């Protein structure tokens, strides 16, 4: 087991930076998920850590040892590839044993370890099959088994679940969490699936266009996204983003959004960079959009365009004006149909503010903790008269 450092790491393909000044400390035993859309540089970062790509600039260290020039085989890492990369001509047993043969593990010890991992992953009856005869989930388990038998300092996983169907993916997610707890291993896991990131990670590193956008625990990332990209990328359905204005009433700051005026604690946010315009982006999570509230006075009216019942909840998309639609997460069996005019209320205690040009979050980190956490007292509502 070991910790991992990226220090100002760049990777250029030609002149195009794919990874742009990545600095990241991964602690020993951490399950760190690199999350981002395709092309954000997350897989390239992982491949640099694996030794399959060389960083253009910067330093990568595993267990405090600089590995930039170290070949892959000397890094003591194990990698699970997206399409598993099993050796097609070898049986499951051969696939599992190959690495141990390379390391000249004695035969008896090899069989013991192989048996242990095969039992753990439920591969015992498949040991003599070839990869072509296995299902996607089975192949995935073989790839995982191969990595486990390596007993590496760091596990690297490149979207290992992306080729599995939804049920199997959920099952393997639980399996990976269990394995991580059991082995207490350092895992660097790449995915574009925020559900995987949220469920498995001890910390998430969100990447966008080669940059590291934010690092934090899943809850921190969800509750206090550092910028508009993170805010809209994490969370499903996506965060609603509407335009608002910062102004002042009686010398105290207020936010005007969706026809309402909300008083704000001046210590809770910074003014936007572009002082010429007071316009900001306001982010509202769908669970903070409440349909059919008790008090019609606070309400925004919306016409229902889409209703998506998911069983445990229902998603409602409503148009509030020509430019604004809001997605709300409502309890199941809420009697709302397409075409209905509904009253919407916003939970003003959980709003997010972003600078319109830099798209950075305008909310200040609270002093109570090292990371930004949301304080419900930040917003106090001002009734529009």
Partner 1 sequence: MGSDTRFQLGHRQDKPRFELSSAALLALPGGFLFFLFVGPIVYALFLGFTNLQLIGPHAQRWWFTGLANPTRLMHDTVFFTSVKLTLIFVVGSGMVGQTLVGLALALLMRRSLMPIRLSVGVLVVAAWVIPEVTAAFVWYAFSQAGGTLGILTRSPHTNFLFSAPMTTVSVANLWRGTAFSMLVFSAALRNIPSEVLEAADVEGASRFRRLWSITLPLLGPTLVTNLLLVTILNLSDFTLIYTLTQGGPGNSTMTLPVYIYQEAFNYYELGYGTTISLVLILIGAALSLLFVRTSRSAA
Minimum CB distance to partner 1, residue 36 (Å): 20
Q: Rounded to the nearest 10 degrees, how much is the dihedral formed by the CA atoms of 332, 337, 339, 343?
A: -40
Closest CB 347 distance from partner 1, rounded Å: 46
Which stretches of the chain bind partner 1, using CB under 8 A? 50-52, 71-75, 77-79, 81-83, 85-90, 98-99, 102-103, 146, 150, 156
Closer by beta carbon to partner 1, 30 or else 159: 159
- Counted residue by residue, the chain has a size of 385
Which of 161/353 has CB closer to partner 1?
161
Q: How far is the CB of 22 from partner 1 (least distance, A)?
A: 20
Q: What tokens were used for 88?
A: 């097609």
Which sign, positive or negative, has the C-alpha torsion 248, 287, 165, 154?
A: positive
* Closest CB to partner 1 among residues 156, 284: 156
Nearer to partner 1, 27 or 74 (CB): 74
Cα–Cα distance for residue pair 261/383, rounded to 1 Å = 7
Residue whose CB is less far from partner 1, 61 or 85: 85
Q: How far apart are the first and last CA of the chain?
A: 62
CB of 156 to partner 1, least distance (A): 8
Instruction: Name the residue among 53, 144, 133, 125 with its Cα closest to residue 89.
Output: 133
Q: Tell me the closest approach of the beta carbon of residue 301 to partner 1, in angstroms.
A: 54
Closer of 105 and 278 to partner 1 (Cβ): 105
Task: For the CB of residue 82, give the shortest distance to partner 1 in the complex, in Å.
Answer: 8
Q: Tell me whether residue 143 or residue 257 sits nearer to partner 1 (CB atom).
A: 143
Nearest by Cα to 380 from 222, 220, 224, 266:
266
CB of 121 to partner 1, least distance (A): 17
């Amino acid at each position: 087991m070991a910790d991992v450092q990226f220090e100002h790491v760049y990777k250029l393909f030609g002149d195009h930076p794919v990874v742009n000044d990545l600095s990241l400390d991964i602690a020993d035993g951490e399950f760190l998920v690199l999350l981002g859309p395709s092309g954000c540089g997350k897989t390239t970062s992982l491949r640099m850590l694996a030794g399959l790509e060389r960083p253009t600039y910067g330093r990568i260290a595993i267990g405090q040892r600089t590995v930039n020039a170290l070949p892959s085989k000397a890094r003591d890492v194990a990698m699970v590839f997206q399409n598993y990369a099993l050796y097609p001509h070898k049986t499951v047993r051969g696939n599992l044993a190959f690495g141990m043969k390379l390391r000249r593990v004695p035969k008896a010890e090899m069989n013991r370890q192989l048996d242990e991992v095969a039992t753990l992953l439920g591969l015992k009856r498949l040991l003599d099959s070839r990869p072509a005869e296995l299902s996607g989930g089975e192949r995935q388990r073989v790839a995982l088994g191969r990595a486990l038998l390596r007993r590496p300092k760091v596990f690297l996983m490149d979207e290992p679940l992306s080729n599995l169907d939804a049920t199997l993916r959920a099952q393997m997610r639980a399996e990976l969490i269990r394995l991580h707890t059991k082995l207490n291993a350092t895992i660097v896991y790449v995915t574009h699936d925020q559900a995987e990131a949220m469920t498995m990670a001890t910390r998430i590193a969100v990447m966008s266009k080669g940059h590291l956008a934010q690092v934090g625990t899943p809850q921190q990332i969800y509750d206090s996204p550092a910028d508009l990209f993170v805010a809209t990328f994490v969370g499903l359905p996506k965060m609603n983003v509407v335009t608002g204005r910062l102004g002042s009433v009686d010398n105290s700051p207020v936010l005007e959004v969706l026809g309402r005026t909300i008083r704000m604690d001046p210590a809770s946010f910074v003014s936007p960079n572009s002082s010429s315009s007071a316009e900001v982006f306001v982010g509202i999570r769908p669970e903070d959009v409440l349909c059919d509230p008790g008090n019609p006075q606070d309400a925004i009216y919306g016409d229902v365009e889409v209703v998506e019942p998911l069983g445990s909840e229902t998603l409602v998309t409503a148009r509030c004006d020509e430019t604004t639609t809001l997605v709300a997460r409502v309890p199941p069996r809420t009697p709302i149909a397409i075409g209905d005019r509904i009253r919407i209320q916003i939970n003003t205690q959980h709003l997010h503010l972003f600078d319109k040009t830099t798209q950075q979050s305008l909310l200040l980190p609270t002093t109570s903790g090292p990371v930004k956490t949301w304080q419900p007292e930040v917003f106090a509502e001002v009734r529009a008269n």
